[in-house]
A and B are shown apart, each in its own frame.
Chain A
Amino acid sequence: MTQKSTRRDVLKLAGAATAATVAPTIATAQSAGGVVVIGAGFGGATAARYLRRAGVSVTLVEQNSSFSTCPFSNTVLGGINNFSSITHGFGGLRREGVNVVRGRVNAVDPDAKSITLDGGDTIAYDRLIMSPGIDFKWDAIEGYDEAAAELMPHAWKAGSQTNILRRQLEAMPDGGVVAIAPPGNPFRCPPGPYERASLIAHYLKTEKPRSKVLILDAKDSFSKQGLFQAGWAELYGDLIEWVPFSEGGNVARVDPATNTIFTDFDEHKVDVANIIPPQRSNRLVDTAGLADGGDWCPINQTTFESTIHANIHVLGDASIAGRMPKSGFSANSQAKVCAAAVAALLAGNDPASPSFINTCYSLVAPDYGISVAAIYRIIEDGTIAPVAGAGGVSPSDAPASTRALEADYARGWYASITADMFG
């Protein structure tokens, strides 16, 4: 989230609002207003379902006919699960009365209070909830554009990209080098690249033991670093090599034709190149200026209503939700808060003061799980921040049985969150 400093940032900060405290119940809207939700992913599907439960009529617009989750997509790359196991249909949402519309939204008009789909159809809303996820900054790494991503997949949206990367891993000869290039902060799923390195290493260790995973990092530290590195040492020896920014890991340029990665000071010719470029909110938000010229959308931290346009709520990865990480669990938790707030606002009530929860499970191997958990509240400066003392990370010296249990919890988490989203 880099942006140029202006005096306005300073003033905005001083003017940040504090939240009112009200009983946290979900109100039932009296006159069911027309709420339109964009995106049937972690934020959008959850918001649609919880609004429906509150008696609000909901139209959910999604460009794809099903949703494939990024969570657990690393298990597909590791050959542990198949792609269909992470793909979910919208039948459950429809059965509960959510009007699921297949279509790609290409513009949001805050003045007309409507959205336009590819093909020209428009849908009017009383309130709009957007959870459209991320887009990539194609210009950030020289040579890495959409065409390059077909050869050097990011696999940071689950779908054909996941399958390209999986096929490349399968085709790679034993003794090959798989490079993973994670971006600087902030980005979708901070522990994701390191879970990916782990599960690819798991696959290589079993099938192609002379191969290597080389992480060329734009950062000097990463989420759950101590736990990951201990797990790598224990399970994979020196199969995984991590090159931090300060040791020259930053990727400046790629040449997809020769599968070559140029860091600031070195060049690496690799067999498989998984480039995860820097990210920003989905460009759809720009049609209404919702990111205010920056990368992510500023929002009221209690209702997720945009600070730029009234009646538009933005949540999930696309939003600036204080210090919550960009995760599926965060988006799910935010969606429940946002749904309750929207239902309350439609019913003419005050939204409740929210709290949020996020747990990020990561698999270091199929039977080796680690986690970090936190509870979040609104603090004095009006932003979402972790509650000190609540949550925590897995212990660093746990026995194998604890790691195995956490891997089971991770699978349980996946089953319950996808059930929470799609019914």
Chain B
Amino acid sequence: MAEVRVAVPPTARKGEVIEIKTLVSHPMDNGFLLDYGGRMIPRWIINRFEVEYNGEMVFSADWHVSISTNPYLIFYTVATETGQLDFKWYDDNGEIYTHTAEITVT
């Protein structure tokens, strides 16, 4: 189970562009490496990331095998209203990792 870490400022002024950082612990096996026994380690990556702000998709991504182990991402969003940001990561094995952050907009 992947551990997710998200940094969202707890408060912001209305209209402010806020920085969001995310870090997920995930091996992001690229499917090209062998284990010590010489067997191919199957591809196992997070391939999709989505962010909804009070239910509206504001940002999303498709990731491929060249994204590093423990994917790290910084992106931005406009603080429009008080509410919550929902983060979702989808991996090759059908696992979905989620995180919710609250933000107060003044």
Contacts and interface: CB of A to CB of B under 8 A. Distances in A.
Tell me whether A and B are bound partners. yes
B70 A247 contact: yes
Contacts of B64: none
A264 B20 CA distance: 10
A31 interface: no
Contact of B21 (A220, A246, A247, A264): A264
Interface residues on A, range: under 10
B21 A265 contact: yes
A225 to B, nearest CB: 15
Per DSSP, chain A at the interface is loop
B17 interface: no
Contacts of A245: 72
Contacts, number: 21
Contacts of B21: 264-265
B69 A246 contact: yes
B7 A247 contact: no
B5 A265 contact: yes
Contacts of B77: none
B72 A247 contact: no
Interface residues of B, number: 10
Q: Which of A220, A245, A246, A247 has the most CB of B within 10 A?
A: A246
A265 B7 contact: yes
A248 interface: yes
A247 B69 CA distance: 10
B25 A264 contact: no
Contact of A248 (B5, B68, B69): B5
B57 interface: no
A153 to B, nearest CB: 27
Contacts of B18: none
Interface string A226-261: 000000000000000000011110000000000000
Contacts of B70: 246-247
Contacts of A248: 5, 23
Interface string B71-90: 01000000000000000000
Contacts of B69: 246
A246 B26 CA distance: 10
Interface string B1-43: 0000111000000000000010101000000000000000000
Nearest to B71: A246
A252 to B, nearest CB: 8
Contacts of B6: 265
Contacts of A220: 68
Contacts of B5: 248, 264-265
B7 A246 contact: no
15 contacts: A220-B68, A245-B72, A246-B68, A246-B69, A246-B70, A246-B72, A248-B5, A264-B7, A264-B21, A264-B23, A265-B5, A265-B6, A265-B7, A265-B21, A265-B23
Given A247-B25, A247-B70, A265-B5, 11 more contacts: A245-B72, A246-B23, A246-B25, A246-B70, A248-B5, A248-B23, A264-B5, A264-B7, A264-B23, A265-B7, A265-B23
Interface of B: 5-7, 21, 23, 25, 68-70, 72
